[in-house]
Structure 1
């Protein structure tokens, strides 16, 4: 069980900020799906490999399945390789952090991405934290405010310690 630092909880992103993050990332995911659809059509027209035909014409359940797969990959890659930020988080100045104040582990990023693809998971934010935060011991925080308070606490802790020049 991880520690829950008060500083992390104090700087959690607001519900409105989280909504903007989700909106931006959803728009980008829609663009990715359009690009994948166009690419699969072009590839099918040149190769006649049935998979590429099926990608665009697989039906409703296939669309949901491919949407979940693409969303899982999108969120995992962005958060893992850009230090807890997706394009939406870059815009709003937020970042994913572990509840103990450290960088999330690869397992936490994978779990966050997995929980996101559960249908209606977005509605879990009407509670305190969404499933992809509470089940993985992570939080989305306002990073500048968190950094400022962390630096202030660090400076206070070093008062009275002799500096070596």
Structure 2
């Protein structure tokens, strides 16, 4: 069982900011998918390999599968290699951290992104936390407010201690 720190819970990003993160990242995913589709069409024209044809011109179930794979790769690579941040989180000044105020593990990020594939995960935010946050013990926080409170607590803890010159 993970430790839940009050400072993390106090600085969770609002529902509006989370929605804005989602819209920005969705826009980025659409752009990336359009680019990949154009590249696939060009590669199909050059090579006649059927995979490239199916990428942009296939049934809805295939596009759904490929879309989910692209979504998983995008969120996993961004959150895992860019310190818990996606393009949307950079723009809104938020990031993902564990409930114990540490950087999320790779396993947490994998599970977090697998939970995004669950139908109606986006609607789960009308509760206290979204499923992909609750199931993985992670939170999206406002970095500026979190860091300023963390520094203030550190300064208070340092009062009365001798400084070594």
**2:154 corresponds to which residue?**
154
Query: Between Structure 1 and Structure 2, how many residues are aligned?
Result: 165
**1:123 corresponds to which residue?**
123
- Tell me the SS of whatever aligns to 2:100: coil
**1:114 corresponds to which residue?**
114
TM-score after normalising by structure 1: 0.98
Deviation at 1:153, TM superposition (A): 0.5
- Tell me the SS of whatever aligns to 2:51: helix
Deviating runs (4+, > 2 A) in structure 1? Answer: none
Deviation at 1:110, TM superposition (A): 0.8
- Tell me the SS of whatever aligns to 2:103: coil
Aligned CA RMSD, in angstroms, stands at 0.6
- Tell me the SS of whatever aligns to 2:139: strand
For residues 20 and 96 of structure 1, the distance between their equivalents in structure 2, rounded to whole angstroms, comes to 15
Matched ranges for 1:26-41 at <5 A? 26-41=26-41
**1:12 corresponds to which residue?**
12
Long gaps (5+) in structure 1: none
For residues 86 and 163 of structure 1, the distance between their equivalents in structure 2, rounded to whole angstroms, comes to 39
Deviation at 1:118, TM superposition (A): 1.6
Deviation at 1:67, TM superposition (A): 0.6
Deviation at 1:161, TM superposition (A): 1.1
Question: Deviation per CA, 1:61-98, whole angstroms, max 9, x where unpaired?
Answer: 00110010000000000011110010000010001010
**2:97 corresponds to which residue?**
97
